[in-house]
Amino acid sequence: MPTPPKKKAKFKPYAEVITPEAVSDEGLFTVHRVEEDYFFEIPFALFNRDLLLVTRIAKIPAELGGGYLNAGSKTNEQLVRWNRVGDDVHLTSVSYSSVADTSLPISLSVQNNNYAPVVMSFDISTFNADSTAAVVKVNDLFVSDVQAISGLSKRLRKEYEVRSLDKDRSFISRMASYPENVEVRHDMTYVANDPPSNARTGTISMQLSQSMYLLPEQPMQPRLYDERVGWFTVAQVDYGSEALKADEKRYIKRWKLVPKDLEAYARGELVEPREPIVYYLDPATPEKFRPYFRQGIEDWQQAFETAGFKNAIVARDAPTPAEDPDWSPEDARYSVVRYVASTTRNATGPSVVDPRSGQIIESDIIWYHNHLRSYRNRYLLETGAANPSARTLDTPDEEIGEMMRRVISHEVGHALGLPHNMKASYAYPTDSLRSANFTQTWGLASTIMDYTRYNYVAQPGDEGVRWVRMLGPYDEYAINWGYRYLADADSPTAEKDSLNAWIAAKQDDPVYLFGGYSSSDPSAQTEAVGDDPVKASSYGMDNLNIVAENLADWTTRSGEDYTDLEELYGELLGVWSRYAAHVTALVGGIYEQPRTAGENGVVYTHLPTDQQREAVAFLNERVFTTLDWLMPRRIIANIGSGTIVERMRRLQSRQLDILLDEGRLLRMIENEALNGKEAYTAPEMLAQLRRGLWSEAAAGRPIDVFRRNLQRAHVARLMELLSEDSGRSTDVAALARAELNAIARLARTAAPRYRDGIVKYHLQETVAGIEATLTAK
């Protein structure tokens, strides 16, 4: 009888797949490179374990995302699992947005209604020697166009008309494995009809970084979020809640800090955490700036002492290759302040977070080199009038270092879980910022997490004041609230009484209030200083007047062109715009203070009439007027005098559009409906604005080109409001029509007072344009 053929083995021997020529790296699991093939050797013990897969852009083409993406930007973050299905291994994307305790019957429904999608399926190539791990080839995961780990969103693909991924120009460039994570770098090249740069190539090339982190087997106990204290959060819908609904729960993002000595901690002693938060300084950081980076990190130690921890956060130099040849900033065990050689003017404080609990796993602070330029420029523009050392392009290293220190502190604050708190600047009286004792003790705002960068309120002669922001009392309060260890609380709910008591102890003290940016809340404005926007902006514009007069002297050097002057002048106009917008926010403004039932007071409060009326008076006097001081002849003559009329038109028209925003008018209409005669009404505001903008015509005085442009912008915006409201039929259309009629009557009466010339023609054109519009409507 012939011998039957041997059955072909399903899997190759390990040595035939992972050959002696393989380059391998052991860690969380072993990764192999065999010529151009890449393999993951995944232990069975890691199957069905929760891992976090984070996608970042490692290298980016110029202009991708219009400046909103940078090298280091995170594009995807998802929880994944490896699992075996027959002869295959699946990588699935798992969501914790819907949960229920596994002991409850409803947990079965949660699982069935949240089936995890398969990102990719892999054939098992072989098993390791003792059959405790499966080996899979992963080339296709990283050189195919897998949306789950892509660096190009659907919006960007549409914007740049991306047709396909070119596999011939896409490749894996690096794989490394560490004890708690695996890192992959891969270069992707897309064919695009309209790429953001190098258009002739028809190509978008970028390098992506994929980081796979092993999450704790037992998640950290989360802490429930309270909107009265600012924190970044993760959200879950709990179907096992006792609430008669699918109960949405939000947990704050924070590091896991547990006291080494629980008994000493309970006695109120300062105790070191079992695992402190450690940031390493990038070896690329210039030596002269390293002390400031270390200070910026460790400034948070005092805040953590409020929560009972000492040395909770520390800064260290990265070890040299001789000290630790295996150290890498990509190792998930290490959080790093990275110094990036880039023209980007920014710094960021992202973190990697366990979506199950909010635990921060790792964080890299990114400092882009050109951010120095931003802070130098703002320092000169906002403090130069009263601060002699700011009047130069060569800011002393010590002062630049102080600014860098505070920026790093701000970004570390984000990486600790704290968002921006724009209410913090409103906590301090405006005039207190002219006091040396006050500012050196309390800083410029109650938290480093506000955008209160510089003291633009201090006037010439205010000696010894603080110019640069620093940490404040809110930072200590928030860190205590988020990080104090509650040993006796065995669940998030069990912590609530303590958390509420800490908030109640600070209730209504403006120093401890939180609020993100709000266009309708004048107490939550970005880049603001002090609790009186009219006074603060008056001080700021007085100072800016001095800076404008001297800017050419402070920014030009013999033998060099006027590039720096042009840049600083453009930024000066931006500073003026912010000062104006802070005052505009008062008009139709509503104070917002989150509260819970049982607290005194209300959440929303319309601003008093007098405050709004004062704001419009300021705008008429200092914003909607001819700004000769903002157009120094020495500057204009050297950067392009032919553009100044148009530039000022755009500058002032923008502020007029912000004031005449439909939403603002609707808030004023609502205020009148609720508060009657006590309200500052939309008709009163519009009339006050009209009297200011058209005052020359009413008095028969000359109207220069800048004022004519403002008047045209006024009419144009009212016409826009008429059109915007046409389908909604609110009072806004009636208000706009009434104002246009009033302006037409005024212009018609005023025109005969002027001899033939541009002013007469302007007024006649105004009448004709309004009549044509109103007739058509």
Per-residue model confidence as pLDDT tens digits over 644-663: 999 999 999 999 999 999 99
Packing angle between helix 644-659 and helix 563-584, nearest 10 degrees?
Answer: 20
User: Which token pair is 53?
Assistant: 């897969």
Residue 521 vs residues 422, 606, 611, 689: alpha-carbon distances, Å = 10, 9, 13, 21
Rounded distance, CA 6 to CA 212, Å?
41
Pairing between strand 351-353 and 590-592? unpaired
Contacts of residue 633, Cβ cutoff 8 Å, sequence gap at least 6: none
pLDDT for the residue numbered 225? 95
Question: Quick check: 549 and 573 in contact, CB under 8 A?
Answer: no
pLDDT in the model for residue 109 = 45
The reported pLDDT for the residue numbered 584 is: 97
Residue 369 and residue 342 in contact, taking contact as beta carbons nearer than 8 Å: yes
**According to the model, what pLDDT value does residue 215 have?**
93
pTM for the model: 0.89
Distance CA 16, CA 31 (A): 16
Burial class (CB in 10 A: 0-12, 13-18, 19+), 153: middle
Cβ partners under 8 Å of residue 104, min gap 6: 240
Which segments in the chain show pLDDT lower than 70? 1-9, 67-68, 70-72, 97-115, 237-247, 341-345, 369-370, 641-642, 725-728, 777
| Amino acid identity at 583 | V
Query: H or E element: which one contains 608?
Result: none
If phi over 0 gives left and psi between -120 and 50 gives alpha, with beta otherwise, what is residue 53?
A: beta
Using DSSP, state whether 292 is helix, strand or coil. helix
Helices (H) and strands (E) in the chain, counts: 23, 23
Q: What confidence score (pLDDT) does residue 100 get?
A: 47
Q: How far apart are CA 328 and CA 334, in angstroms?
A: 8
For 474-517, what is the HEC assignment? HHHHHHHHHHCCCCCCCCCHHHHHHHHHHHHCCCCCHHHCCCCC
Judge whether 56 and 74 are in contact, CB under 8 Å: yes
Q: For position 343, what pLDDT does the model report?
A: 64
Q: What is the pLDDT of residue 454?
A: 95
pLDDT reported for residue 370 = 66
What are 545's two structure tokens? 């007047």
Q: What are 300-309's pLDDT values in tens digits?
A: 999 999 999 9
Q: Which of helix, strand or coil describes residue 289?
A: helix
At 468, the amino acid letter reads V
